[in-house]
Amino acid sequence: MSEPTRTRRLVSPSPEETHRLGVKLGQLLEPGDFVGLVGDLGAGKTHLVRGVAEGAGVASSEVASPTFAIVYPYDGRIPLYHADLYRLADYEELYATGFMDLPGEGRAMLVEWLDRIPQAAPRDFLRVTLRHEGEDARSLEVEAFGARSAALLDAWLG
Ligand SMILES: Nc1ncnc2c1ncn2[C@@H]1O[C@H](COP(=O)(O)OP(=O)(O)OP(=O)(O)O)[C@@H](O)[C@H]1O
Ligand SMILES: [Mg+2]
């Protein structure tokens, strides 16, 4: 993997703060944006996605934890896909699902467990790595790969 164009680190002291960060990102997302979420079980990937979806104008009742399906479509201010690669074995299996055709549909993509299949990411994407820092704190390492994602990161976290 090439070096990130831009990196920011911060600590979220609570689930509420992580949600608020997600809402702000969701307000900035445009069709075609790709955000990969990385982190252990319970790190807060889905929690952050719920905020992003809310910020993008998706009704919160729509947001699932994509345990059984690989991809969920949401309709908000812009259309989103929320995907989880946890149960996929490799790139071949992902490819067979048609996943690689999805970005062409002009939706923004939120992809949990991107580290399972890094080839799922397009050339320009944002990667958010969440880590446990105690009971209610999580560190977020946000890496932008490419010009659009660097601009998105600047607008999101300054
Ligand atoms: N600062 C924080 N930010 C986000 N979530 C937090 C924070 N502190 C505690 N939590 C809690 O951690 C849990 C995160 O769960 P979540 O389902 O988002 O994890 P996940 O990374 O999607 O895990 P999985 O890989 O199992 O899907 C939630 O119960 C949330 O309330
Ligand atoms: Mg999850």
| Inside any domain, residue 153 | yes
Question: 48 lies in a domain?
Answer: yes
Number of domains observed in the structure of the chain: 1
| Residue to mutate (ligand 1; options 46, 48, 135; most atoms within 8 A of CB) | 46
Q: Residue 2 falls within a domain, yes or no? A: no
Does residue 36 belong to any structural domain of this protein?
A: yes
Query: Is residue 106 pLDDT above 90, yes or no?
Result: no
Please say if the pLDDT value at position 18 is more than 80: yes
Query: Is 95 a domain residue?
Result: yes
Query: Strands (DSSP E) along 26-88, which ranges?
Result: 34-38, 71-75, 79-84
| Residue 1 covered by a domain | no
Residue 101 confidence (pLDDT):
85
Please indicate, yes or no, if residue 23 is contained in any of the structural domains.
yes
> Which CATH number goes with the domain that contains 69?
3.40.50.300
Residue 65 pLDDT more than 70?
A: no
List of residues 6+ apart from 15 with CB closer than 8 A: 44, 47, 136
> What pLDDT score does 66 carry?
58
Q: What is the pLDDT of residue 22?
A: 98
Instruction: Report which protein residue has its CA nearest ligand 1's atom 2.
Output: 15
What pLDDT is attached to residue 100?
A: 86
Between β-strands 138-145 and 6-12, what pairing exists: parallel, antiparallel or unpaired? Answer: antiparallel
147 burial type by CB count under 10 A (0-12 exposed, 13-18 middle, 19+ buried):
exposed
Give the pLDDT of residue 61.
Answer: 77
Please report how the helices 147-157 and 15-28 are oriented relative to each other, as an axis angle in degrees rounded to 10.
130
Give the closest residue to 48 by CA, choosing from 6, 7, 12, 10.
Answer: 12
Ligand 1 atom closest to residue 130's alpha carbon, by position in its atom list = 21
Query: Which structural domain range is residue 54 located in?
Result: 8-157
Q: How many helices (H) and strands (E) does the chain have?
A: 4, 7
Q: Which of 98, 95, 108, 105 is nearest to 29 (CA)?
A: 108
> Mean pLDDT across the stretch 36-41?
97
Mapping DSSP to helix (H, G, I), strand (E, B) and coil, where does residue 57 land? coil
* Domain presence at residue 126: yes
- Residue 116 has a pLDDT of 94
